[in-house]
Amino acid sequence: MAGIPPTPAPGGGPVDDPPPAWSRVVLVGFMGAGKSRVGREVARLLEWSFVDADHEIERRSGRRIPDIFRQSGEAAFREMETAVTAELLSREQTVLATGGGWPAVPGRMEGLSLDTLSVWLRIAPEEAVARIVGGRGRVRPMLQVSDPLAEARRLLEFREPFYGKARLVLDARRSNPRALARLIRDEVRGRPVPPPSS
């Protein structure tokens, strides 16, 4: 005889179902937070694949991100980002580093599936600008302005509520990329994450 079906939990599954195992990790956060570096290390530790949304956009379009911004504008870049990321988010056993602006659309973070561990690598605007502007890293079109720090502050103020919807928030400045990656690896494997050291 069939029993009474369990009441669905708000998240979708039956009340007593354990949460699903994590199928992928999505790293979000501001430019310069180290999403690619940490993501690559998480993938190495888990023996999963790593993919960087920006690199994928560049590979598929055959253009560098600054060229896309300059030639086609930010709106065109965002369209490519939306399409590429939607596809990458269906991959299993994958660590995905998103661009800093990807989460800042209503519904995007909430739309992540229950088996996707979202992680915000949190960084202050001063640190982000110090790492990016004048550094040897990639050119970030969003900060190619006369006052990058003011712009970083403005962008972060708008974006933080979106980043804050991540399931795990890690202070990207306090720990080095390897330590951050180990915390994420432990979370994926179901171990409790210790509070960040002060």
Kindly list the residues in this chain that would bind ligand S3P in the complex (CB under 6 A): 31, 35, 54, 65, 99-101, 140-142
Residues 107/130, Cβ–Cβ less than 8 Å? no
Torsion of CA 161, 27, 31, 39, to 10 degrees: 160
Q: How far apart are CA 132 and CA 110, in angstroms?
A: 29
CB of 141 to ligand S3P, least distance (A): 5
Nearest residue (beta carbon) to ligand S3P: 99
CB of 10 to ligand S3P, least distance (A): 31
Q: Is the CB of 122 or the CB of 140 nearer to ligand S3P?
A: 140
CB of 112 to ligand S3P, least distance (A): 17
Q: Is the CB of 48 or the CB of 69 nearer to ligand S3P?
A: 69
CB of 101 to ligand S3P, least distance (A): 3
Q: Is the CB of 112 or the CB of 128 nearer to ligand S3P?
A: 128
Question: Distances from the Cα of 140 to the Cαs of 65, 119, 132, 176, in angstroms?
Answer: 8, 22, 8, 22
CB of 138 to ligand S3P, least distance (A): 7
Q: Is the CB of 14 or the CB of 73 nearer to ligand S3P?
A: 73
Q: How far apart are CA 89 and CA 114, in angstroms?
A: 12
